[in-house]
Amino acid sequence: MIMSSPFTPKARLSRRSLLTGAAVAASAIALPSALTACSGGDKTKSPSGGSNLPKDLDKAKPVEFGAETEGILYPSPYKGPKARTLPKFADGSTSFRVVVPQDATVVGDWNKNKFSQIMEDTTGVKVQYDAVLVTTPDGSSDLTKINAMIASGDLPDAFMSVGLSRDQISLYGQQGLFTPLEDLIRVYAPGMREMYEQNPDIKQANLAQDGHIYNFGGVNDCFHCRSAGARAFVNKKYLEKVGADMPTTTEEFRSLLQLFKKKNPSGKPGFLPFMGGDVTYDPVDLFMMGPFIYNPGAVAGQAYLKLNNGQVQFVANTDEWREGLRFMRQLYDDGTLTKQTFTIKGDDLTKLGNNGLIGVCRAFNWAAWITMTPGDNQPWEDYIPMTPLKGPQGVQVASWTYGANPFTTSLVITKNCKNPEQLVQWADAQLDLLRIQQSYRGDQPRDWRWAEKGELGETRKQAIYGPGTKSEGAPAGTTWNQYGIMYRSADYRAAGVTDPTVPNLDLIAEKVYQPHAQPEDQFLPSLLFDPSVTAQRGDTEANLTKQVSINMAKFATAELDINSDTAWKNYTSTLDKMGLPAYVKQAQEAYDKRPK
């Protein structure tokens, strides 16, 4: 989502939209037993392996871009998608079955959706969309139906944006269930080739263990998302009322919360000095641990793991982590951090936010906990981003995500597809700038328009697109939300006409949080694990993550004594019994063997 765009549709600012990326990133690896029993893929096959690939692919002439569409302005320099002519390449004689995520709120019926029809009219490719539920009501990933399809052999021609993890895509590809795409991309996908050329790390991130590419992955280079877990917001009017400045240290923060508790600047009953975000996707630990240690968080596949001189380390059992828990316990003893921080969910959180009953909120952004009603003097505008806190030992870390993640939206083509080259062309057509606009933003000129000369984007350079004639956002059933295979580069995201009076989270991330990011060599990149350990590792990770989360709340709220060495030892030894040493060792092996 682009906070600085006044024409960003309200649907994009919903809690559901925030969960889209989180659910994909947190996809549980629950591999069907019928598949885990299969042998691994043949790592000696040629890059053009795959029984459903067209013959003489190595001799085929690559498809090239059409002419650029005239009249569209771009900033300089610019790295991202452009609008070009696209000749229709299919006649609709073949229909493809593509499994997609169910989204009744924004997409509606995929087969009646307006952008679905645009794609058919533009490319000539006829698609039958099979929508399945891939998330639980709280936004967590649920791939039960997808796994059942794969285990039963009831494979569609392709899966699109259903939340398959990198491990799953790599495993199923090596087992011959998914089609290797690198040669198809070389011949039929000029858009993906351009994206790889402009972003070499994206191609690298797509590689499976056997060196093939099974994932036709889009990119959403959300700069401000890189610091999402480290952010918190404080009410500036409440700061003024209690006579306090923006806190910069843990002691100043503690004093501020005590002032909030004592003076209740809201003047309303039920006021809370501090509140965490929705516990499902916006936990408090990255913010609270920043003054003590770099906390990577519960990242799927590598929960609480960081690098130290190339060695993988678990952070949630360290002395520094314990100091962070001691600080949280201090706040609890002060009465400024409550148990509700560890249990709060969406609607309850929004009610508090909308009524001005929160002094400081730890959250991804405003829309995660308060309604962003357009207009002047709205309650959400009173909340400003907090500076990362400095701890007693001088530690001041805003956890930062480095690198590329092409698995947020992806297409994988199965072995059952008889014409994979046509589906690759169809997916590549979605990377065109016009298709990206239609897929995500809606109709032109109602929902968006091309920018005029002199209109500026977030970086104060020439904008590409601006607001449409309507401000309420695209109607339901007209876009694909964020499920299309889009190339939303950083330059593209910054190229929307902006209102300088609207907070710009990208600039906030750059100026407030990036200066305090942990060194990049401490960040553990996305890893691929050997199929023999994937399922068991998923179970271990779930247990470890639950143990850390539950005990964080217990230590912070005095249910367990953080100052008791016995209680701390019980906690850390339980982690070990749950398989922590093997979990770390597997990550180290995967890191050492990662595709380079």
pLDDT at residue 3 is higher than 80: no
224: nearest Cα among 106, 395, 373, 363: 363
pLDDT at residue 325 is higher than 50: yes
pLDDT at residue 532 is higher than 70: yes
pLDDT at residue 87 is higher than 80: yes
Name 403's Cβ contacts closer than 8 Å, sequence gap at least 6: 201, 205, 523, 525, 526
How many C-beta atoms surround the C-beta of residue 444 within 10 A? 15
For residue 195, the one-letter residue type is M
Contact 470, 208 (CB under 8 A): no
**Cα–Cα–Cα angle for 227, 229, 232, rounded to 5 degrees:** 95
Q: What's the whole-number mean pLDDT along residues 241-263?
A: 98
For the four alpha carbons of 140, 386, 522 and 79, in that order, the dihedral sign comes to positive
Contact 426, 122 (CB under 8 A): no
Peptide bond into 77 cis (omega under 30): yes
CA pair distance 512, 226, nearest whole angstrom:
12
Q: What's the whole-number mean pLDDT along residues 22-45?
A: 35
pLDDT for res 136: 81
CATH of 226-401+523-592, one of 3.40.50.150, 3.40.190.10, 1.20.1260.10, 3.90.930.12: 3.40.190.10
Confidence tier at 58 by pLDDT (50, 70, 90): confident
What percent of the chain lies above the pLDDT cut of 70? 90
pLDDT for res 140: 72
Helices marked H in 355-477: 420-429, 433-440
Confidence tier at 542 by pLDDT (50, 70, 90): very high
**Cα–Cα–Cα angle for 12, 343, 14, rounded to 5 degrees:** 5
Higher pLDDT, 38 or 587: 587
CATH 3.40.190.10: which residues of the chain?
Answer: 10-28+73-221+404-497, 226-401+523-592
Contact 95, 128 (CB under 8 A): yes
CA pair distance 545, 533, nearest whole angstrom:
18
pLDDT for res 22: 37
Higher pLDDT, 369 or 407: 369
pLDDT for res 33: 33
pLDDT for res 451: 98
Q: What's the whole-number mean pLDDT along residues 580-595?
A: 94
CA pair distance 54, 424, nearest whole angstrom:
12
pLDDT for res 37: 32
φ and ψ at residue 569, rounded to 5 degrees: -65, -40
Q: What's the whole-number mean pLDDT along residues 272-282?
A: 87
Q: What's the whole-number mean pLDDT along residues 16-42?
A: 35
C-alpha distances out from residue 140 to 27, 56, 364, Å: 8, 43, 16
pLDDT at residue 25 is higher than 50: no
Contact 421, 428 (CB under 8 A): no
232: nearest Cα among 286, 299, 304: 286
Confidence tier at 28 by pLDDT (50, 70, 90): very low
Q: What's the whole-number mean pLDDT along residues 166-194?
A: 94
Q: What is the pLDDT of residues 300-314, one digit of tens each?
A: 889 999 999 999 999
φ and ψ at residue 418, rounded to 5 degrees: -85, -15
Contact 2, 493 (CB under 8 A): yes
Q: What is the pLDDT of residues 363-400, one digit of tens each?
A: 989 988 899 887 778 899 999 999 999 999 999 999 99
Count of all residues that appear for the chain in the document: 596
Contact 411, 532 (CB under 8 A): no
Q: What is the pLDDT of residues 409-456, one digit of tens each?
A: 789 999 999 999 999 999 999 999 999 999 999 999 999 999 999 999
Q: What's the whole-number mean pLDDT along residues 225-238?
A: 94
pLDDT at residue 2 is higher than 70: no
pLDDT at residue 274 is higher than 90: yes
- Of these ranges, 20-34, 201-215, 572-586, the one predicted with the greatest mean pLDDT is 572-586
User: Which residue is listed with tokens 């962003």?
Assistant: 372
CA pair distance 579, 96, nearest whole angstrom:
43
Which pair of tokens denotes residue 331?
């706040």
Name 58's Cβ contacts closer than 8 Å, sequence gap at least 6: 48, 183
pLDDT for res 138: 67
pLDDT at residue 43 is higher than 60: no
- Of these ranges, 25-29, 140-144, 325-329, 345-349, the one predicted with the greatest mean pLDDT is 325-329
Higher pLDDT, 168 or 81: 81
pLDDT for res 167: 85
pLDDT for res 350: 93
pLDDT for res 49: 45
pLDDT for res 506: 87
CA pair distance 273, 360, nearest whole angstrom:
6
pLDDT for res 277: 84
User: Which residue is listed with tokens 């809201």?
Assistant: 266
Q: What is the DSSP string of 41-110?
A: P-TTS-TT--TTSPTTGGGPPPP---PBPTT----SS--S---B-------S-SEEEEEEE--TTTT--T
pLDDT at residue 267 is higher than 50: yes
CATH of 10-28+73-221+404-497, one of 3.40.190.150, 3.40.50.80, 3.40.50.12780, 3.40.190.10: 3.40.190.10
pLDDT for res 353: 94
Average pLDDT, the chain: 88
pTM of the model: 0.82
pLDDT for res 196: 94
Q: Long-range CB contacts (< 8 A, 24+ apart) of 220-223?
A: 220/21, 220/408, 220/409, 220/482, 220/486, 220/488, 220/493, 221/404, 221/488, 221/489, 221/490, 221/493, 222/1, 222/21, 222/488, 222/493, 223/490, 223/493, 223/506, 223/509, 223/510
CA pair distance 296, 300, nearest whole angstrom:
11
Q: What is the pLDDT of residues 461-480, one digit of tens each?
A: 999 999 999 877 899 999 99
